[in-house]
């Protein structure tokens, strides 16, 4: 067991973890942050995307011990005082989700994408989401959601 201290969604946690624990499992099983999900075992699907020190990462490909001393934001930490994040709202308003399983990862990656490129074209959005799979939406409304969120942020 290794002792780590991680700030997740604004709360600081100190825990003993097995070094082999993946960040996503730490979030889900030890912290109850089940909003972040696991969709694959080869780091391809992006469902587990969270922010580590403000940048998007696949939390299935980070060990919890690597997050020691760092800050993690999950889908559950986005809304402030009950106000949805603009990207969350845009996904709702543009029907950017169906089953919703990919959605936390999509939203977290979209936020990262917009931080880097506040006014992306459709193609830039598509390329920026190349690490996130969705089986339901055909991506069209996801792209629309991200563009709408960009417009709203201007």
Partner 1 sequence: MTAVEERPAAELGSPRLRKEDQRLITGRTRWTDNITLPGMHHLAMVRSPFAHARITGIDTGAAKSASGVVTVLTGADLKDEQGALPNAWAIIPEQKAPEHPSIAVEHVAFAGEIVAVVVARTAAEARDAADLVDVDYEELPVALDLKAAAADEVLAHPDLGTNVSAFWEFDSAAADTGGDVEAAISAARDGGVLIEREYRQQRLIPAFMEPRSIAADPTGEQLTVWSATQVPHFVKIFLALVLGIPEHKIRVIAPDVGGGFGGKLQFTPEEVLTVLAARRTGKPCKYTETRSESLVAAHHGRDQWQKITLAATKDGTVTGLKVDLVADMGAYLGLVTSAIPILGAFMYNGIYKFPAYHLSCTNVFTNKAWTDAYRGAGRPEATFAIERVMDELAAELGMDPIAVREKNWIKHDEFPFTTVSGMQYDSGNYEAATAKAKELFGYDELRKEQQQRRESVDPVQLGIGVSTFTEMCGLAPSRWLGSMGYVGGGWEHASIRMLPTGKVEVITGTSPHGQGHETAWSQIVADRLGVAFDDVEVLHGDTQIAARGLDSYGSRSLTVGGMAVLAAADKVLEKAKPIAAELMEASVDDLEFVDGKFGVKGTDTSMALGDLAFAVFQGHKLSAESEHSLDADATFDPLDFSFPHGTHLCAVEVDTETGRSTIRSYVCVDDVGKVVNPLIVEGQVHGGIAQGIAQALFEEGVYDESGTLVTGSFVDYLVPTAADLPAFVTDRTETPSTTNELGVKGVGEAGTIASTPAVVNAVVDALRSFGVNDVEMPCTPHRVWSTLQGRAADTPAAPHSAQSTSMSQEGQA
Partner 2 sequence: MIPAAFDYHAPSTVDEALALLAEHDDAKVLAGGQSLIPVLRLRLAAPEVIVDLGRIEELRGIREDGDALVIGAMTPHHAVETDALVAEHAKLLALATATVADPQVRHRGTIGGALVHADPAGDLPAPAVALGAELVIAGSGGRRTVAAEDFFEDLFTTAVGEDDLLVEIRVPKHTGWGAHYEKFTRVVQQWSIVGVAAAVRLDGDSIAEARVALTNMGSTPVRAAAVEQALVGQPATAEAVQAAAAQAAEGTSPPSDSNGDAEYRRHLATVLTRRAVLAAAGA
Ligand X SMILES: Cc1cc2nc3c(=O)[nH]c(=O)nc-3n(C[C@H](O)[C@H](O)[C@H](O)COP(=O)(O)OP(=O)(O)OC[C@H]3O[C@@H](n4cnc5c(N)ncnc54)[C@H](O)[C@@H]3O)c2cc1C
Residues of this chain that bind partner 2 (CB under 8 A): 2, 18-22, 25, 41-44, 46, 49, 52, 55-58, 60-63, 65-66, 68, 109, 112-113, 127-128, 130-132
Sign, CA torsion 9/92/55/114: negative
Site membership for ligand X, residue 19 (CB under 6 A):
no
The tokens of 78 are what?
């986005």
Give whole-number Cα distances, 6 to 25, 52, 57, 143, in Å: 14, 10, 15, 32
Interface residues for ligand FES in 81-140 (CB under 6 A)? Answer: 97-103, 134-137
Concatenated DSSP letters for 54-75? TEEEEGGGSBGGGGTT-EEE-G
Strand ranges (DSSP E) for the chain? 2-8, 11-17, 49-52, 55-58, 71-73
Binding mask 26-65 for ligand FES (x = CB under 6 A): ------------xxx--xxxxxx---------x-x-----
Q: Does the footprint of ligand FES cover residue 143 (CB under 6 A)? A: no
∠ Cα 60 65 69 (to 5°)? 115
Neighbours of 41 (CB within 10 A): 8
Decide: helix, strand or coil at residue 84.
Answer: coil
Q: In angstroms, what is the minimal distance from the CB of 95 to ligand FES?
A: 10
The interface with partner 1 within residues 20-79 (CB under 8 A) comprises: 20, 28-29, 33-42, 44-45, 47, 74-76, 78-79
Closest separation in Å from C-beta 130 to partner 2:
5
Minimum CB separation of residue 102 from ligand X in Å reads: 15
Tell me how far, at minimum, the Cβ of 65 lies from partner 2, in Å: 6
Q: Does 40 help bind ligand X (rule: CB under 6 A)?
A: no
Residues at the contact surface with ligand X, assessed by CB under 6 A: 43-44
């Amino acid at each position: 067991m290794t002792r780590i201290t991680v700030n997740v969604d604004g709360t600081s946690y100190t825990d003993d973890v097995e070094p082999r624990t993946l960040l996503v499992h730490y979030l889900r099983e030890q912290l109850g942050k089940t909003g972040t999900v696991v969709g694959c075992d080869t780091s391809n699907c992006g469902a587990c995307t969270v922010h580590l020190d403000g940048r998007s990462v696949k939390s299935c490909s980070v060990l919890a011990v690597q997050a020691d001393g760092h800050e993690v934001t999950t889908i559950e930490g986005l809304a402030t005082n009950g106000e949805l994040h603009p990207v969350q709202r845009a996904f709702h308003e543009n029907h950017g989700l169906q089953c919703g399983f990919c959605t936390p990862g999509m939203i977290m990656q979209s936020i990262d994408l917009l931080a880097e490129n506040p006014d992306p074209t459709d193609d830039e959005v598509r390329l920026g989401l190349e690490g996130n799979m969705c089986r339901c939406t055909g991506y069209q409304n996801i792209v629309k959601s991200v563009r709408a969120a960009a417009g709203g942020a201007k």
